[in-house]
């Protein structure tokens, strides 16, 4: 893995480390910006809106991801609140989604634009950007899966944290045979790459289906597909929050997203049929 790409010693600033995760996150937003500009232009909107929307998504997403992580690990936050708030680690996707969505909605309302219409323009960009961002998680060895002996297994000896038997046991609550020492680095499911592949597939589906659709339908489809993707991947993830039997907290949220997406798709389609019948 390549968690750090280059370290620079700069005058006045000091040592600056360029991480692979940071580079891929920047690339994810750049890709999302270009895709959303293209879609806004196709919908007859000012392509420059893309900058405002992604700024709202960036600020809201980082704040939401960090706050979700802080509250999810409240016991650690109480012991070290400043460390939890300002550490590089701890950006949870669903918190980022909620915070980013709030930031985008505020930007849209500020510009007095249609929320469903601009949400449709952002849907393909969200899928593509998420796929690129997950490559960053793979490069730093974060968010990997459970141990596997299959050909897809990858070891993360320098992961965050390393995929050792001890970390899998104690940090993620994964059942590892007692005969395996804590220091042994195990091969695990590269769930980051699973998400990259599925998110790219979602992007292609959205790109193919965009066009003459009811307003809000494409974004609703993205909600349902993104929820489905995360629900599937969670079965392979190394997680310690399986509070609902075999399901994780993220899977419960995923089911809510799937339900919301399907509901909004049906609602937008019904609204379009009603409007067509009146004309």
101 Cβ neighbours under 8 A, 6+ residues apart: 57, 60
Average pLDDT rounded to a whole number, residues 234-256: 81
Q: Is the pLDDT of residue 225 over 70?
A: yes
| DSSP H or E segment with residue 213 | none
| C-beta separation of 21 from 140 below 8 A | yes
Give the 3-state secondary structure of 163-191: CEHHHHHHCCCCCCCCCCCCCCECEECCH
pLDDT at 13: 65
Average pLDDT rounded to a whole number, residues 236-253: 78
pLDDT at 76: 65
At which residue do the structure tokens 């939401």 appear? 64
Q: Is the pLDDT of residue 84 over 60?
A: no
Q: pTM for the whole thing?
A: 0.85
pLDDT at 102: 87
pLDDT at 151: 94
């Amino acid at each position: 893995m390549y968690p750090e790409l280059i370290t620079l010693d700069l005058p006045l600033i000091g040592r600056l480390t360029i991480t692979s995760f940071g580079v891929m996150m920047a690339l994810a937003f750049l890709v999302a910006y270009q895709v959303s500009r293209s879609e806004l232009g196709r919908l007859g909107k000012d392509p420059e809106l893309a900058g405002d929307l992604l700024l709202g998504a960036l600020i809201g997403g980082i704040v939401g991801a960090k706050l979700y992580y802080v509250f999810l690990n409240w016991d650690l936050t109480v012991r070290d609140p400043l460390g939890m708030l300002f550490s590089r680690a701890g950006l949870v996707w669903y918190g980022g989604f909620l915070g980013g969505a709030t930031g985008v909605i505020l930007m849209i309302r500020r510009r007095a634009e249609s929320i469903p219409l601009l949400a449709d323009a952002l849907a393909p960009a969200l899928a593509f950007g998420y796929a690129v961002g997950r490559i960053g998680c793979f490069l730093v060895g974060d968010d990997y899966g459970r141990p596997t002996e299959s050909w897809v297994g990858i070891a993360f000896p320098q992961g965050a944290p390393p995929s050792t038997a001890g970390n899998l046991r104690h940090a993620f609550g994964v059942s590892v045979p007692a005969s395996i020492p804590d220091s042994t680095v195990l091969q695990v499911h590269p769930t980051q790459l699973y998400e990259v592949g599925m998110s790219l597939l979602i992007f292609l589906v959205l790109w193919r289906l965009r066009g003459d659709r009811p307003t809000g339908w494409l974004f609703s489809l993205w909600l349902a597909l993104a929820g489905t993707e995360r629900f599937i991947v969670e079965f392979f993830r190394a997680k310690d929050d399986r509070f609902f039997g075999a399901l994780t907290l993220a899977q419960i949220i995923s089911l809510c997203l799937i339900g919301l997406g399907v509901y909004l798709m049906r609602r937008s389609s019904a609204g379009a049929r009603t409007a067509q019948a009146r004309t």
